[in-house]
Copies of this chain bind each other. A is one copy, B any other.
Amino acid sequence: MARIALDVMGGDHAPEAPVAGALLALQELDPSHVLQLVGRSAVVRAVLDRQLVDASPLVRQAAERLVLIDADEVVEMTDKPSVAVRGKPNSSMAVGLRLQAEGASDAFVSAGNTGAQMAASTFILRLHPGLSRPAIGTVLPTATQPVVVLDAGANVDCAAAELVQFARLGHVYARDILGRANPAVGLLSIGEEAEKGNAAVKEAHQQLIGAGLNFIGNVEGRDIPAGRCDRGPVDVVVCDGFTGNVLLKLYEGVAPMLFGLLAAAGVPKEQLKQALGVLDYAKYGGAPLLGVKGVSIICHGKSSPEAIKNGVLVGLRAVESRMSHHIGEQLGA
């Protein structure tokens, strides 16, 4: 049995999308699990009632299992990260995370302000020993199996030791969340030889050789869309948060460009949508914030109900696999 707190006030389409996502999740979750909707209860109640008007009897019955938890403040998308920690102590974010810190919840899921969620998660859940900041792992669709890329934006200036920590975090992520038995960890660089890369990457390469992971050496930009390098499949790609953020946004931007070119050339849009469906981020749900003592799932601000539902399922998987516990073990290794 897991208790998952969902931030109903977070995201570009809140509160409608999170509420709709919760209803979708209920239909897939075993009834033993509890879904906690955190936000302004009056607002949440109203949205819920509206969405239930046309719902099936089964969904209405399931909705009775939802637990509403009142939080009268809201962290806006434009608020500074510190606001979530100090400025708005009764925000849905702070309340949802405190619930977990106090042992009344097992996971927190939000499509709200990412910087604020990171700050609040770090402050309220705290970090495993040895970490100075949490990392974001993002799952990217590839020609073969999805690949975890981290860090995806939280840590911009990274020393070699931090890159090695990302490798450890990614290893646990790929094993616990994606179910890879012995994740192949690659270090992003500009050539496969150990002496290629910037100073931090070259040093990290040496440290990773003895880190007890399935380190497959350097991988290059082209190996990410392929999902594999010359030495075989890749499960985890390690990079600093600056490079990670740039490449994720680039990756997101290429599909629409090609979509436009192909549509202009007369390829039917339906055929394009179907073929490129594998690239839809909504399928991959949220990204666990890695390194906090607990579970905090970051969803895309633009999350649809489907994406929110998948974020909740990722949260459940993180709880059931004991991901945070394994991260503590891996960092102490």
In the assembled complex, which residues on chain B have CB atoms less than 8 Å from the CB atom of A143?
256-257, 260-261
When A190-B241, A258-B255, A261-B143 are in contact, do A224 and B250 touch as well, CB less than 8 Å?
yes
Residues of B within 8 A of A142 (CB): 257
In the complex, identify which listed stretch (A12-20, A61-69, A270-278) lies at the interface while the others stay far away: A270-278
- A225 touches which of B188, B257, B272, B278 (Cβ 8 Å): B257
Segment at the B interface, from A122-130, A168-176, A215-223, A297-305: A215-223
Pick the residue among B197, B251, B262 that contacts A250 (CB under 8 A): B251
CB distance from A14 to the nearest CB of B (A): 22
A242, B276: Cα distance in complex, Å = 29
Least distance between A81 CB and chain B CB atoms (Å): 13
The chain B residue sitting closest to A252, CB to CB, is: B222
For residue A267, CB closer than 8 A to chain B, the reply is yes
Also in contact, A262 and B257, with CB within 8 A (given A188-B246, A190-B246, A221-B246): no
* Given A153-B190, A246-B190: A226 in contact with B267 (beta carbons within 8 A): no
Q: Which residues of B contact A220 (CB under 8 A)?
A: 245-246, 249
**With an 8 A cutoff between CB atoms, is A254 at the interface?**
yes
Query: A248 at the A/B interface (Cβ < 8 Å)?
Result: yes
Known: A199-B157, A254-B254, A255-B258. A249 touches B221 (CB 8 A): yes
Contact with B along A197-229 (1 / 0, CB 8 A): 111010000000000000000001111111000
Cβ–Cβ < 8 Å partners of A249 in chain B: 190, 220-222
A243, CB-defined interface residue at 8 Å: yes
Give the docked Cα–Cα distance between A157 and B254 (Å): 27
Chain B residues contacting A223 (CB-CB under 8 Å) are 253
- Which residues of A (137-177) have their CB < 8 Å from a CB of B? 142-143, 153, 156-157
**Out of B243, B272, B276, B278, which one reaches A243, CB within 8 Å?**
B243
A258-B276 in contact (CB<8A)? yes
Tell me if A248 and B271 are in contact (CB < 8 A): no
A46 touches B (CB below 8 Å):
no
Instruction: Give complex CA distance A265, B226 in Å.
Output: 18
Smallest beta-carbon distance A97→chain B, Å: 24
Q: Does chain B have a CB within 8 A of A247?
A: yes
Contacts of A258 in B (CB 8 A): 254-255, 258, 276
Measured CB to CB, the nearest residue on chain B to A245 is B190
Q: Are B242 and A197 in contact, with the CB atoms below 8 A?
A: yes
Chain B contacts of A190 at CB under 8 A?
A: 153, 156, 241-242, 245-246, 249
The 10 listed contacts between A and B (C-beta, < 8 Å) are A156-B198, A189-B242, A198-B242, A221-B245, A221-B248, A222-B249, A223-B253, A224-B250, A243-B243, A266-B271
Report the 9 A-B pairs with minimum CB-CB distance, sorted nearest first: A221-B249, A265-B275, A222-B253, A221-B250, A225-B257, A190-B245, A225-B253, A156-B198, A221-B246
